[in-house]
């Protein structure tokens, strides 16, 4: 107990020095927490966007369809989705299935032509699997043959509004040009750049006619009831549909994005680590100074019968107290900044420009706090503070009381 009391008093002998040392740790830790919240937010939003608008939880293609992202071949499609639809729906974890037809196209407003991804959606099933229906901000969802839904960015770029006409142009399965005049029935705002800027949604029947693929679809999107064990559901799907089809989880289809995200996390962690190391050097410095200036005191304590263990404890506690202060402050600042992110978000679009073309979200970063990370960052801060104290302390334990007392 004496050691704790002594440590506590020692900490406040040089308040300013203590505060500066602790603040260095705080800066490092709060940066770690903030970066973590940012990355969590980015990943969560990207995942949500992918699941809610792009792929749902699982996707089924004809065998050989999926080559890489952004390629939409028409030579290997699911010609008769009715054959496997029943089998898929019978799997217990499957909530609902929606067919889609994706194709490369361009749209013209009579003045300019712009490349887009055409998406044919099943008007009834779509809302059971995706959230496009809820993202209509103007007008209404597809209702009649000849309706088209476009994103708000595309509507701005092409100067299109509800009731405007546009022409969708593509080549059908045989390579023959086909083009339909459509009326804009609704404008969507999803937060997913593909759909807000780059896609035109039409009824699946119209897409099938446009592409001359009869009842064919390019994919079946599956929403599950419980997404915690997607891999098992995937295995059951693979068994159910057989070898003529391939099944992917949304994560597999977006592996590249999560790989990027992993690299980013790594890089950000490294930066934060450097800050923490600098802070640690600060602690070493402070503790070393404390040891140096207290050499006569240490001599006195030792002469009075204080053993080495007691000395070590005293300094380690002192480092620990500084560490706890600094870590607490750091976590608090990190949390407050993260909370700001959670509630307000920051618009990074100016910084990233059009980076959202590769990342399935817009760069308004909304934070997502992981409290386990905050706790581990706190413990990490305290541990580092204590650990780096050990070296200066060694010096103190090696002192002979006689030499120390003579030291001026």
- Does 205 interact with another protein (rule: CB under 8 A)? no
Distance of CA 334 to the CA centre of its chain: 18
The minimum distance between CB 62 and another protein, in angstroms, equals: 18
C-alpha span between 236 and 92 (Å, rounded): 10
Query: Between 194 and 321, whose beta carbon lies closer to another protein?
Result: 194
The sign of the CA dihedral 223, 225, 228, 231 is: negative
Q: Which is nearer to another protein, 97 or 204 (CB)?
A: 204
Classify burial at 285, counting beta carbons within 10 Å of its beta carbon; exposed 0-12, middle 13-18, buried 19 or more: middle
Strand partners, 219: 100
Kind plus residue range of the DSSP H or E element containing 137:
strand 136-139
178 forms part of the interface with another protein (CB under 8 A):
yes
8 A C-beta contact, residue 13 and residue 319: no
Q: Looking only at residues 211 through 230 of this chain, which bind another protein when binding is defined by CB under 8 A? A: 212
Nearer to another protein (CB atom), residue 104 or residue 198: 104
- DSSP strands (E only) in 1-79: 58-62
The one segment of 56-64, 165-173, 299-307, 326-334 that binds another protein by CB under 8 A: 165-173
Q: Considering the rule CB under 8 A, would residue 305 count as an interface residue with another protein?
A: no
Which one, 182 or 257, has the nearer CB to another protein? 182
Interface with another protein, residue 145, by CB under 8 A: no
Residue from 48, 164, 167, 285 touching another protein (CB under 8 A): that is: 167
169 binds another protein (CB under 8 A): yes
Pick the binder of another protein from 63, 69, 113, 235 (CB under 8 A). 113
Q: Taking CB under 8 A as the rule, does residue 104 contact another protein?
A: yes
Q: How does DSSP assign 339-398, residue by residue? A: HHHHHT-EE-HHHHTTGGGTSSS-SEE-----HHHHHHHHHHHHHHHHHHHHHHHHHHHT
Q: Taking the alpha carbons of 132, 133, 134, 135 in that order, is the dihedral positive or negative?
A: positive
Please name the residue that has the structure tokens 């909304």.
Answer: 366
Q: Give a three-class secondary structure readout of 154-173.
A: HHHHCCCCCCCEEEEEEECC
Residue 105 or 365 having the CB closest to another protein:
105
Contacting residues for 170 by C-beta, under 8 A, at least 6 apart: 103, 104, 105, 106, 118, 177, 178, 179, 210, 211
Contacts with another protein by CB under 8 A: the residue count is 23
Q: Which is nearer to another protein, 140 or 176 (CB)?
A: 176
Minimum CB separation from another protein for residue 186, in Å?
A: 22
Which residue stretch of 61-69, 145-153, 175-183, 350-358 sits at the interface with another protein (rule: CB under 8 A)?
A: 175-183
* Nearest CB to another protein, comparing residues 113 and 226: 113
Stretch that binds another protein, among 110-118, 188-196, 233-241, 397-405 (CB under 8 A): 110-118
> C-beta of 202: minimal distance to another protein in Å?
13
Residue from 179, 260, 337, 346 in contact with another protein (CB under 8 A): 179
Residues 35, 265: Cα–Cα separation, whole Å = 8
Residues of this chain that interact with another protein (CB under 8 A) are 104, 106, 108, 110-113, 115, 167, 169-172, 174-181, 210, 212
């Amino acid at each position: 107990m004496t050691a704790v009391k002594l440590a506590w008093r020692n900490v406040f002998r040089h308040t300013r020095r203590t505060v500066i040392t602790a603040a260095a740790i705080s800066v490092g830790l709060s940066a770690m927490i903030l970066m973590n919240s940012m990355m969590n937010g980015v990943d969560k939003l990207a995942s949500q966007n992918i699941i809610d608008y792009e792929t749902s939880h699982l996707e089924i293609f004809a065998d050989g369809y999926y080559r890489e992202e952004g390629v939409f071949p028409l030579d290997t499609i699911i010609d008769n989705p009715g054959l496997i639809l029943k089998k898929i729906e019978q799997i217990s974890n499957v909530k609902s299935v929606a067919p889609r037809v994706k194709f490369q196209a361009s749209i013209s407003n009579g003045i300019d032509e712009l490349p887009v991804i055409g998406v044919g959606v099943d008007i009834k099933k779509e809302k059971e699997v995706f959230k496009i229906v809820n993202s209509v901000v103007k007008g209404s969802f597809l209702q009649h043959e000849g309706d088209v839904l476009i994103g708000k960015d595309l509507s701005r770029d092409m100067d299109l509004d509800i009731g405007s006409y546009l022409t969708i142009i593509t080549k059908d399965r045989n390579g023959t040009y086909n083009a339909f005049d459509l009326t804009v029935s609704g404008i969507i705002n999803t937060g997913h750049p593909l759909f807000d800027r780059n896609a035109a949604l039409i009824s699946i029947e119209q897409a099938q006619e446009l592409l001359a693929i009869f009842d064919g679809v390019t994919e079946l999107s599956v929403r599950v009831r419980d997404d915690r064990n997607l891999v098992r559901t995937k295995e059951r799907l693979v068994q159910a549909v057989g070898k003529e089809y391939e099944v992917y989880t949304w994560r597999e289809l977006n592996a590249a994005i999560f790989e990027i995200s992993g690299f980013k996390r790594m890089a950000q962690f490294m930066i934060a680590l450097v800050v923490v190391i600098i802070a640690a050097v600060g602690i070493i410095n402070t503790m070393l100074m404390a040891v140096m200036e207290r050499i006569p005191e240490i001599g006195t304590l030792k002469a009075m019968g204080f053993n080495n263990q007691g000395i070590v404890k005293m300094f380690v506690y002192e480092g620990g107290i500084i560490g706890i202060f600094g870590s607490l402050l750091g976590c608090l600042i990190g949390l407050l900044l993260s909370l700001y992110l959670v509630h307000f978000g920051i618009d990074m679009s100016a910084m990233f420009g059009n980076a959202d073309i590769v990342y399935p979200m817009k760069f308004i970063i909304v934070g997502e706090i992981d409290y386990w990370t905050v706790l581990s960052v706190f413990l990490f801060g305290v541990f580092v503070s204590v650990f780096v104290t050990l070296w200066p302390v060694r010096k103190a334990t090696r002192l002979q009381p006689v030499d120390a007392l003579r030291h001026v």
